């Protein structure tokens, strides 16, 4: 359940709804792109459906844009961290067996 009361309708409660969509799709991560990313993340920071947005991006493998307050690099880093943790846990289980 989301802030809207409907899991499929989380976007209607998003803080970015009235923002320029281009803000969330910077063409660079340097220079003016850094400022654009910071502005987008600031909007996300106070969003009631930030987690739903991030879950959408992760489940649909969004390769571009700011989703749930994360950049594509943030999401890649998180996926790598989770894969490493899972591999470490699997290794520990196999060694203990």
Would you write out the chain's pLDDT as a tens digit for each of its 97 residues?
444 455 668 999 999 999 999 999 999 989 999 999 999 999 999 999 999 999 999 999 999 999 999 999 999 999 899 889 988 888 888 887 7
pLDDT at position 6 is 58
pLDDT at position 8 is 67
Per-residue CA distances from 33 to 30, 41, 42, 78 (Å): 5, 12, 14, 21
pLDDT at position 50 is 97
User: Model pTM greater than 0.85?
Assistant: no
């Amino acid at each position: 359940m989301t802030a809207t009361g409907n899991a499929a309708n989380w976007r209607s409660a998003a803080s970015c709804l009235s923002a320029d969509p281009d803000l969330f799709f910077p063409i660079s991560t340097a220079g003016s792109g850094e400022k654009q990313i910071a502005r987008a993340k600031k909007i996300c920071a106070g969003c009631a459906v930030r987690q739903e947005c991030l879950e959408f991006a992760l489940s649909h493998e969004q390769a571009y844009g700011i989703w749930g307050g994360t950049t594509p690099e943030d999401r890649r880093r998180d996926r790598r961290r989770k894969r490493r943790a899972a591999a470490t846990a699997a290794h520990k289980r196999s060694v203990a067996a």
